[in-house]
Homo-oligomer: A and B are copies of this chain.
Amino acid sequence: MTTAPSSALFDRVALIGVGLIGSSLARAIRRHGLARTIAVADQGEGVAARALALGLCDEAGEDAVAAVRGADLVMLCTPVGAGEAIARAIGPALAPGAIVSDVGSVKARVIEMIAPHLPAGVHLVPGHPVAGTEKSGPESGFAELFEGRWCILTPLPTTDARAVDKVAELWRRVGMVIETMDPDTHDKVLAITSHLPHLIAYTIVGTAADLEDHLSQKVIAFSAGGFRDFTRIAGSDPVMWRDVFLNNREAVLEILQRFTEDLTALQRAIRWGEGDTLEALFTKTRAIRQAVIEAKQA
C-alpha cells in the first residue's frame, strides 16, 4: 500500500499497460500522492514484474480483470487496438461508479470500441495526454513527462460531469493543461500534428533504407539536419503506430490527400524552375512557426 496523503483523488487506480505512458503516469501518481493503491496489468513478457521491481505500483500481473477489481479509476494505457478486447474482458468486473479512461492517441474509434462493453453506472472519460517520446517500455517513463503539456478530454455529451472533473483533476495534478473537444475534432487535429508527421517520417526513413547500399551507408553517416529528426520520429513504437493508423484511417487519409496535392504542386515548381512559387510557400510557413512559438509549443 502506498502511503498517500488523505487528499488522494482515487482509492485504487488500475493501469492497463505500463509502457512509456502507463509507467510515466504511475510515477506521477506516486509522486503527487493521487492514489492509495496502484495496480498494474500488462501482457508484455516480464513487464509486470519489471514494473513492480521499479517500484511503480503496489500490485502487478498479467490479468487485467484482477487489476480492475475494486478500482475507482481504470486507465487504459495500451495501444489503441487492444481497447476492445480489454473492455470486453474487464466490463463484468468493474465496480459500479468506477471511471474508465484511456490515453489513446485516437479518440472516435476508441470510444466505439470501449463504450459498448461497459456496464451501466460505469463512466467512460476518453482522454489523450499530448505528451510522449519515441521510447517505449516501463523503463523509459518519467514523472515529469506531462508537465506543461495539453491533455485533451473528449467526453460524450451524456458523460457524468463529476467523472470528467475527476479525470481532469488527475491530469491537472500531474502538471497538464486540460482542453475538451469532440472526438472527431481531436482526431482531425492530431492527424495533422502527429499522425501525418509520423507517417512521413516512417516513409522517408524507409525510402533511405531501400537505397543502393553505398548511398544508404552515406545517408546514415551524414544524417544531418532534417533526416536526423525524422529517424528519431521513425524510431517510435511500431505496434502503437500501426494501431493509430488503423484506427484513425479516415482523418489520416483525408489529410494525406491534401498533403500529396500540395507536394505535387511543389514538385512541379521544382521541375519547371518556378523560384517564386517556392519562395512564397517557404515564406508563408515561417509565419506558422512564429505562431507555434507564440503558443509556447516550440
Give, as a whole number of angstroms, the nearest-CB distance from A18 to chain B.
Answer: 21
- Check B220–A284 contact: CB distance below 8 A: no
Is there contact, CB below 8 Å, between B206 and A298? no
Give the nearest-CB partner of A298 in chain B.
Answer: B228
Contact of A227 among B188, B197, B211, B236 (CB under 8 A): B197
In the complex, chain B residues whose CB is within 8 Å of the CB of A131 = 224
The reply to whether A297 and B220 contact each other, CB–CB distance below 8 Å, is yes
How many of chain A's residues touch chain B, expressed as a range? 35 or more
Q: Is A99 an interface residue (CB 8 A)?
A: no
Contacts of A73 in B (CB 8 A): none
Contact (Cβ within 8 A) A297 B221: yes
**Contact: B203 with A259, CB < 8 Å?**
yes
**Are A284 and B209 in touch, CB under 8 angstroms?**
yes
CB distance from A257 to the nearest CB of B (A): 9
Q: Does A185 contact B (CB under 8 A)?
A: yes
Which residues of the partner chain B approach A256 to less than 8 Å between Cβ atoms? 263, 267, 270
Of B152, B208, B223, which is within 8 A of A297 by CB? B223
Q: Is A213 an interface residue (CB 8 A)?
A: no
Indicate if the CB atoms of A218 and B286 lie closer than 8 Å: no
Q: How far is the CB of A250 from chain B (nearest CB, A)?
A: 10
Whether A278 contacts B192 by the Cβ 8 Å rule is no
Report A's interface with B, CB cutoff 8 A: 81, 130-132, 134, 149-150, 152, 179, 181, 185, 188-190, 192-194, 196-211, 215, 218-239, 241-243, 245-246, 249, 252-253, 255-256, 258-260, 262-263, 266-267, 270-271, 273, 275, 278-279, 281-292, 295, 297-298
* Those 8 A-B pairs whose CB atoms lie nearest each other, nearest first: A197-B226, A235-B289, A238-B282, A193-B227, A234-B285, A205-B285, A194-B225, A130-B224
